[in-house]
Structure 1
């Protein structure tokens, strides 16, 4: 067998093993979310949509054993908290991140490289360090931990994601278009509304979608800065796993996976979308 052929087969085998190792646990979660066994989720009995039916407020097709404790209400409440937090955090971080990206792209000052570095730090900082720092800050400031502190905490690092996505979009934009708009008599607001905003809009939307997904999935930082009445879905799932993996967890994890993939794909699509005026 030629040496090059053997090398290609080894690389192909390695690639296959890598993807199996990476995605096999995710596939197992999806598969076992259809397991009808309400007690031992690893013991397959038969396929069932009961856990999805329960998630959407419908009655299960089979009676549940007496030892089964329905926690759907708490799960849905945690999901509502996650959606509210992610929505407000996304709106605020998108607005601020876009403003910072525009400011750094249009103005030059001595400390601009240092400012850009500070905008990247929240992304590379360990989550546990940022979570502890935010917890100390909120307690020192006398703020009560709750949904508002989670929104503030999420904005501290989501702004960086929006800033990077919008900055990349601005780097691809031809500045001559704005100058041409001014030469044709448009003021700064008209130029921004009719030229700049349409060109950077895919980046703004992409950054917002990515921010929403990251906020929905965050566990570590949210764990430190959430109050007792503002538990988000990822934190609630973590607390459930400590007491034992329940069947609903697989179903809600599958739904979150699909939800995250759709939003992440939409974010990447809008980030790379070409816009014409």
Structure 2
């Protein structure tokens, strides 16, 4: 029992201690050596928003706030677009399989799981080859299309799980009382599905905001999202600004993830 407890503690320490260190060192006042604590400061967070000071110029990696804001803007454009597309496609696929079974249904489900199970680097290379072969110009359009291919799988899984726990007798009762298919969908099916749809959409949104590998392959040279921007900063070393950006993304990701889990598990 003690050995199991020790293993559990070591396991969680291995996962969460590095994250805790990023949070702690994002407030470190030392601009040169991240591992040497020199006092508490919020300068690196201020610097991200363009509020520079003379004491932190030695660690300045963000040459212009406009570059950072452009990367953030691109990330939100991609995230909202892919979330909308993948939510519609994933929900439609889940409802089609739920209401209209057919002979190759299991094989079709496997095909929907493949983009999610495939290694990111393999999917990124495959999408790059496809877009280049099709003559598409790499940019926001290819990023949105590429991310939608695997985010649809996540939405499909979440909505399918919601559909599996629903009572179909409510739809049948609605039809017996003379309601049309659209009325049944709008007043019976959609309210029950909404927690799953919103949960899947939030999950797709946060994965899109955090995606680096696939986006790196299909973004081209003139388009940067926030993860690619941070990756470019890391090539010049780990400085406090990188830690501050990582903490801000971490907080945002946790907020969206917790909201998605809450909506996914909420009961009417």
TM-score (norm 1): 0.93
TM-superposed CA distance for 1:72, in Å, is 5.1
CA distance 1:179–1:69, change in 2 (3 Å): closer
1:63 counterpart = 2:42: no
Q: CA RMSD in A?
A: 1.4
Stretches of structure 2 lacking an aligned partner (at least 5 in a row): none
What is the distance in 2 between the residues matched to 1:49 and 1:209? 30
Structure-2 change in CA distance of 1:65 and 1:99 (3 Å):
closer
Q: Does 1:47 pair with 2:40?
A: yes
Q: Does 1:37 align with 2:30?
A: yes
Q: Does 1:154 align with 2:140?
A: no
User: For residue 106 of structure 1, what is the aligned residue in structure 2?
Assistant: 99
Deviation larger for 183-192 or 37-46 = 37-46
Residue number in structure 2 paired with 1:138: 131
After superposition, the C-alpha distances for 1:145-184 in whole angstroms (9 at most, x for unaligned) are 0011000000000000000000000000001100111111
Change (3 A) 1:177 1:72: farther
- In the alignment, what sits opposite 1:167? 160
Of residues 240-249 and 193-202 in structure 1, the stretch that sits farther from structure 2 once superposed is 240-249
Q: How far has the Cα of 1:40 moved from its partner?
A: 2.3
**Residues 181-217 of structure 1, C-alpha deviation per residue, up to 9 Å, x if partnerless?**
1111110000000000000100000000000010011
Deviation at 1:58?
3.1
Which whole-Å CA distance do the structure 1 matches of 2:183 and 2:86 have between them? 24
Q: Name the structure 1 match of 2:82.
A: 89
C-alpha spacing 1:244/1:173, structure 2 compared with 1 (3 Å): same
Corresponding residue number in structure 2 for 1:80:
73
Pairwise CA distance, 1:139: 0.5
Match of 2:209 in 1: 216
- Gaps (5+ residues) in structure 1? 1-7
Q: Is the 8 A contact 2:170 2:188 kept in 1?
A: yes
SS at match of 1:159: helix
Corresponding residue of 1:9: 2
Cα gap change, 1:50 to 1:99, in 2 (>3 Å): same
Given that 2:61 and 2:241 are in contact with CA atoms closer than 8 Å, whether structure 1 keeps it comes out as no
Report if the CA contact (8 A) 1:39-1:68 is conserved.
no
Report how far residue 118 of structure 1 moved. Answer: 0.3
* Partners of 2:59 and 2:34 in 1: CA distance: 14
Once the 2 structures are TM-superposed, how far is the Cα of residue 77 of structure 1 from its aligned partner? Answer: 1.9
Change (3 A) 1:98 1:240: same
DSSP 3-state at the match of 1:64: helix
Aligned partners of 1:76 and 1:34: how far apart in 2? 22
- Mapped partners of 1:125, 1:21: distance in 2: 26
Whole-Å Cα distance in 1 between the matches of residues 157 and 77 of structure 2? 24
Aligned length: 267
User: CA offsets per residue over residues 50-104 of structure 1, 9 Å max, x none?
Assistant: 11122234344x5334674433522222122111111100011001110110001
